[in-house]
């Protein structure tokens, strides 16, 4: 069966077991692997690397599109194969090693990794490992459920290993649009002006001589583990819908809004899901990942087109997507993450972006990555690419975590990923703060009144009142600004009390 | 003489005194004024507004390109005319009012203000006031020494006041290139692919019916107040030159480097000045402001072209520039700040950007705006536009301030304008930290060893050692992270001690 998938016949003799292919990867090398939000990752070569590492020294720098599935980061981390890792991850074992300082993790804007590679500003890729549906007659690689950085990895690497995954339907061919920025100087404008536009090839063009090994696999992507909407995420979706409706009524947005982006994960997925029952029509997505909500919006006729770099679905929705692939293909494009996340395109299109915050502060700065200001959760991912260049940049979060022991609205965030300049709207289950055109002191009033949980509202109000007495464009009690985080570390709670009694 | 400058004859009857023109501006209005880094600001109407405010209620929202000269912000602030001010300022009196909460200041990326105006996300401009060299036969406005946001203000405003400044030589006509992004949806790519390229008109196209008043002025721009290079800024320039030379030798940069951007002010100007004696040739600038150093580099034959949104020179260099305007005009273009700072163009060109930090932390986060984490200095300006999309993003600062009482390298910055993702290189007089491809723990080692002052080096090392014991991708002692700032506030020093004695 795999012979139909390798349409350049002279490459058939490159087919070999994963162990043999993995031999191309030597200790100290930099490896670029496919995979973005658990989709389209290579399944066999990483496992072979982990097995070999038990027998001989093998430490590599691993670059990917974004997160991997199939426990690959776990297996590689446990086998101590990962010396350096970039630009994103979501694995608990790897996270532990990153936070222990055992794996050097470089947390990057997802649009920038290959730009830095091309500029030789980070170590060059020795070997690229790319999952494919097929190899074309000219040696081109047809990706599977993600494009990620695979095109640039393959084109910049000295050698390429292709994993042909027979579990991936051949019908995925035609879903992808591969375009990469032309060289500097005199780089040309990227000709994309609409989410639905094709500007490239349906495969990764490649000198077939660089294909050093082909491995046949039969293994599915790991399904999405996003949780279904709950009461709070439904409330968040409701507030955002109301806001968008208000913008349409005020004439500031058309009923088709602007192209939508939503970050990976439960809350953003739930917020998008909330649009199913909205009055908006002819919506488009220009995002980095398509989740269950995208398919639901397509099926509901709300969404007319979706562009992204990967498709990451729960098992049931994945089956639905694959069963009706031809129909979805006319309304979905997968692109390199450099294009899905490119500042040039994002600013041109003018997106409404919806990303998840770990915590926000009263002035609108957002922490998306560091628990307690120190411990990496996943990484900034594409949130910075999108928030910076958005038409309206929305951040969503539940107002508290750990049953109220943690407030997601704090006096000062313990780590900043997105500054107040890049945050237009904050939404929690309690409400929405529209920060556009407001000075920091005004932002604080909006955020505390509309977004903070009642458990913490008075404490925040008290903080800002006392801080404001000292003056400043952005008032703070600098010796107290991170005290809530310190208290949580010591006592297991930020100290939410609810309304402060006048008598107290 | 002004009749030659107003080439559409029927506009001659719009000429009136500043007081009469200022009457178009009513209490509560939003006004968009020309002016960028003290260049090309209107000189007469703001003063007339201030005088009127002594007699009647007059509070406005004032938008500009960036900072104004001629003490305009001071005069307007003292007269209590400014209710809101955006997107940038540098005036001591206005700063005091902002920090006292008396003026609501909205600190914005300089490329974004007019994007938000077009999207009706901030209050629309009622009246634009634009300084001009001339009005063309079709009613087009020829700007003077800056373009800033003038084109969009004039095109979006309901009414336009033009200040024709007879002190500005008519020969400035032809210096400008006015292009604005086309409307969404289906906005077209901006066709600019090189710093020296002209893509627009030499004037601001405008329906002449919108020109409601013309005021004749004869007053110079305020000259640049950048200080000449000193020993420390020369050392910073030396470290950066060495780094760039190293990049050229390693084959990562051509001898013409990449287009250069440098922020306003003494340090960045001095660093650029340092290139006069460098071996680099055929350099280009794609920046927001041209300072003395630009003229020196042009005169020295190092720089072949310079694109910006304004030209802000000291008096002597300004005279030289104007005296030889025709020659400079073939090598200089002034553009709208939306284009000089546009993410699409910056990412396409791939700049080496040089901006000034107030303070940096050991992980490479940068504070450019807030003294002590609370008090606004000037604003983020274009630094975020440039740093985010740079090929190599450099931040420069002296390692200490106030004779060593303040370390510019701190455990955690008290305010974040640029996150570690957007900072590639940090330079102080002591040395340079190349942070590309490094994880936070590695960044800390580089920054402490190469950039911190010896007075603070051991204290920083001690902090990072103790923090690292607690683990984390970005180790911090959260209860101590801002203690240096708190100590400075209480004791007037961050406590630099020099090497900690082993016996201590």
ipTM above 0.95, yes or no: yes
Taking residue B163's Cβ as centre, other Cβ atoms within 10 Å add up to 27
What torsion do the CA atoms of A356, A358, A363, A365 make, to the nearest 10 degrees? -70
- Return the DSSP state at A146: B
3 state SS of A429: coil
* Residue whose tokens read 């952005």: A474
Which pLDDT value is given to residue A226?
85
Residue B424 burial (CB < 10 Å; 0-12/13-18/19+)? buried
Question: Which of the four pLDDT bands, split at 50, 70 and 90, describes residue B269?
Answer: confident
Contact A268, A355 (CB under 8 A): yes
Report for A226-230, A315-319, A427-431: range of highest mean pLDDT: A427-431
Which pLDDT value is given to residue B499?
65
Which member of A348, A376, A416 has the closest CB to residue B416? A416
Residue A120, phi-psi category: left (phi > 0), alpha (psi -120 to 50), beta (remainder): left
Torsional sign, CA A132, A134, A140, A145: negative
- Return the DSSP state at A288: S
Q: For the residues A337-365, what does the mean pLDDT come to?
A: 98
- CB contact (8 A) between residue A473 and residue B107: yes
| Maximum CA extent, chain A | 85
CA dist list (Å): B224 to A322, B5, B37: 64, 27, 8
User: Rounded to whole angstroms, how far apart are CA atoms A179 and A152?
Assistant: 10
- Return the DSSP state at A101: T
CA dist list (Å): A154 to A31, A127, A147, A158: 10, 8, 11, 8
Which pLDDT value is given to residue B503?
38
Closest residue in A to B247 (Cα) is A121
Among B473, B476, B479, pick the best mutation site for testing chain A contact (most A Cβ within 10 A).
B473
- CB contact (8 A) between residue B116 and residue A470: no
Which pLDDT value is given to residue A228?
87
3 state SS of B206: coil
pLDDT digits (tens, 9 = 90+) for A125-156: 999 999 999 999 999 999 999 999 999 999 99
Q: Which residues of B touch A106 (CB under 8 A)?
A: 437-439
Q: For the residues A385-392, what does the mean pLDDT come to?
A: 98
Closest residue in B to A186 (Cα) is B193
Among B117, B390, B421, pick the best mutation site for testing chain A contact (most A Cβ within 10 A).
B421
User: Rounded to whole angstroms, how far apart are CA atoms A202 and A218?
Assistant: 22
Q: Which two tokens stand for residue B11?
A: 């506009």
Which pLDDT value is given to residue A333?
98
Which pLDDT value is given to residue A108?
98
Contact A178, A200 (CB under 8 A): yes
Which pLDDT value is given to residue A488?
97
Which pLDDT value is given to residue A499?
65
Residue A296 reports pLDDT greater than 70: yes
pLDDT digits (tens, 9 = 90+) for B150-204: 999 999 999 999 999 999 999 999 999 999 999 999 999 999 999 999 999 999 9
Taking residue B412's Cβ as centre, other Cβ atoms within 10 Å add up to 29
Residue B502 reports pLDDT greater than 80: no
Q: Which residues of B touch A346 (CB under 8 A)?
A: 343
Residue A377, phi-psi category: left (phi > 0), alpha (psi -120 to 50), beta (remainder): alpha
Task: Indicate the average pLDDT of chain A.
Answer: 96
Q: Which two tokens stand for residue B160?
A: 């336009």
User: Rounded to whole angstroms, how far apart are CA atoms B66 and B32?
Assistant: 11
pLDDT digits (tens, 9 = 90+) for A9-66: 999 999 999 999 999 999 999 999 999 999 999 999 999 999 999 999 999 999 999 9
Q: Which residues of B touch A252 (CB under 8 A)?
A: 119-121
User: Rounded to whole angstroms, how far apart are CA atoms A131 and A459?
Assistant: 52
What torsion do the CA atoms of B478, B483, B486, B487 make, to the nearest 10 degrees? 170
Give A362 to chain B, closest Cα distance, Å.
13
Contact B452, B459 (CB under 8 A): no
Q: Spot the catalytic one: B288, B338, B359, B429.
A: B288
pLDDT digits (tens, 9 = 90+) for B308-367: 999 999 999 999 999 999 999 999 999 999 999 999 999 999 999 999 999 999 999 999
Closest residue in A to B188 (Cα) is A193
Which pLDDT value is given to residue A500?
52
CA dist list (Å): A302 to A262, A280, A297, A310: 16, 7, 5, 20
Give A207 to chain B, closest Cα distance, Å.
24
Taking residue B432's Cβ as centre, other Cβ atoms within 10 Å add up to 22
Torsional sign, CA B112, A360, A87, A227: negative
Contact B444, A132 (CB under 8 A): no
Q: What's the N-to-C CA distance of chain A in angstroms?
A: 76
3 state SS of A23: coil
Q: Spot the catalytic one: A163, A288, A296, A359.
A: A288
DSSP H or E segment with residue B200? none
Q: Which residues of A touch B423 (CB under 8 A)?
A: none
Q: Which residues of A touch B339 (CB under 8 A)?
A: none
Q: Which two tokens stand for residue B319?
A: 């005279």
Q: Which residues of B touch A479 (CB under 8 A)?
A: 482-483, 486, 489
Residue A203 reports pLDDT greater than 50: yes
Q: Which residues of A touch B251 (CB under 8 A)?
A: 120
Using alpha carbons, select from A259, A426, A228 the residue that is nearest to residue A353. Answer: A259
Closest residue in A to B258 (Cα) is A185
Phi and psi at residue A232, to the nearest 5° = -70, -40
Task: Indicate the average pLDDT of chain B.
Answer: 96
Contact residues for B148 (Cβ-Cβ < 8 A; gap 6+): B34, B35, B36, B40, B64, B65, B66, B309, B310, B336, B337
Give A351 to chain B, closest Cα distance, Å.
11
DSSP H or E segment with residue B465? helix B454-469
Say what percent of chain A tops pLDDT 90: 95
Among A186, A389, A473, pick the best mutation site for testing chain B contact (most B Cβ within 10 A).
A473
3 state SS of A285: strand
- CB contact (8 A) between residue A473 and residue B370: yes
Using alpha carbons, select from B325, B338, B332, B326 the residue that is nearest to residue B303. Answer: B332
B23 belongs to the catalytic site? no
* Neighbour-count burial for A289-301, b at 16+ CB within 10 Å, e otherwise: bbbbbbbbbbeee
User: Rounded to whole angstroms, how far apart are CA atoms B317 and B296?
Assistant: 9
pLDDT digits (tens, 9 = 90+) for B39-70: 999 999 999 999 999 999 999 999 999 999 99
Contact residues for B381 (Cβ-Cβ < 8 A; gap 6+): B66, B88, B110, B263, B264, B288, B368
Closest residue in B to A99 (Cα) is B472
Residue A254 reports pLDDT greater than 50: yes
Residue A439 reports pLDDT greater than 80: yes
Q: For the residues A172-180, what does the mean pLDDT come to?
A: 98
Q: What's the N-to-C CA distance of chain B in angstroms?
A: 76
pLDDT digits (tens, 9 = 90+) for B413-463: 999 999 999 999 999 999 999 999 999 999 999 999 999 999 999 999 999
- DSSP, residue by residue, B294-327: HHHHHHTTSEEEEEESEE---HHHHHHHHHTHHH
Number of residues written out for chain A: 504
pLDDT digits (tens, 9 = 90+) for A63-94: 999 999 999 999 999 999 999 999 999 999 99
Say what percent of chain B tops pLDDT 90: 95
Which pLDDT value is given to residue B504?
37
- CB contact (8 A) between residue B120 and residue A252: yes
Among B82, B353, B439, pick the best mutation site for testing chain A contact (most A Cβ within 10 A).
B439
CA dist list (Å): A52 to A35, B252, B441: 22, 35, 29
């Amino acid at each position: 069966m795999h012979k139909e998938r390798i349409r350049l016949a002279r490459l058939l003799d490159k087919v070999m077991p994963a162990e043999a292919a993995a031999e191309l990867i030597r200790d100290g090398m930099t490896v670029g692997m496919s995979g973005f939000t658990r989709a389209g990752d290579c399944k066999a070569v990483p496992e072979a690397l982990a097995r070999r590492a038990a027998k001989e020294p093998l430490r590599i720098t691993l670059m990917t599109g974004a997160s991997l599935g199939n426990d690959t980061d776990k297996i590689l981390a446990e086998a101590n194969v990962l010396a350096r890792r970039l630009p994103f991850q979501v694995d608990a074992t790897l996270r532990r090693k990153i936070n222990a300082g055992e794996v050097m993790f470089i947390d990057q804007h997802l649009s920038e990794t290959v730009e830095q590679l091309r500029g030789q500003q980070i170590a060059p890729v020795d070997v690229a490992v790319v999952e494919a549906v097929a190899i074309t007659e000219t040696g081109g690689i047809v990706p599977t459920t993600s494009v990620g950085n695979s095109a640039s990895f393959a084109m910049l690497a000295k050698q390429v290993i292709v994993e042909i995954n027979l579990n991936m339907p051949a019908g995925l061919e035609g879903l992808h649009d591969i375009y990469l920025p032309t060289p500097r100087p005199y780089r040309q404008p990227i000709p994309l002006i609409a989410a639905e536009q094709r500007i490239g090839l349906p495969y990764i063009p490649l000198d077939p001589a660089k294909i050093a090994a082909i491995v046949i696999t039969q293994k599915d992507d790991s399904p999405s583990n996003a949780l279904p909407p709950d009461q709070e995420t439904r409330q968040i979706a409701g507030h955002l819908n109301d806001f968008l409706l208000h913008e349409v009524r005020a004439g500031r947005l058309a009923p088709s809004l602007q192209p939508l982006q939503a970050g990976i994960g439960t809350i953003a997925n739930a917020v998008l899901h909330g649009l199913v029952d909205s009055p908006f029509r002819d919506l488009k997505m220009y995002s980095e990942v398509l989740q269950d909500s995208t398919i639901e919006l397509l099926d509901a006729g709300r969404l007319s087109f979706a562009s992204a770099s990967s498709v990451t679905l729960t098992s049931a929705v994945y089956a639905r997507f694959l069963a009706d692939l031809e129909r979805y293909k006319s309304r979905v494009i997968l692109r390199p993450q450099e294009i899905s996340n490119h500042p040039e395109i994002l600013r041109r299109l003018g997106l409404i972006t919806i990303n998840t915050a770990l915590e926000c502060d009263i002035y609108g700065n957002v922490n998306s990555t560091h628990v307690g200001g120190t411990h990496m959760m996943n990484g900034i991912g594409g949130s910075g690419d999108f928030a910076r260049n958005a038409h309206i940049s929305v951040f969503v979060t539940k107002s508290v975590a750990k049953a109220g022991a943690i407030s997601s609205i704090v006096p000062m965030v313990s780590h900043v990923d997105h500054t107040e300049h890049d945050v237009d709207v904050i939404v929690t289950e309690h409400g929405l703060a529209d920060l556009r055109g407001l000075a920091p002191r005004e932002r604080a009033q909006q955020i505390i009144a509309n977004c903070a949980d009642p458990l913490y509202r008075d404490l925040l109000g008290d903080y800002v009142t006392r801080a404001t007495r000292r003056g400043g464009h952005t008032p703070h009690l600098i010796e107290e600004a991170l005290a809530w985080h310190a208290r949580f570390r010591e006592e297991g709670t930020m100290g939410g009390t609810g309304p402060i009694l006048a008598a107290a």
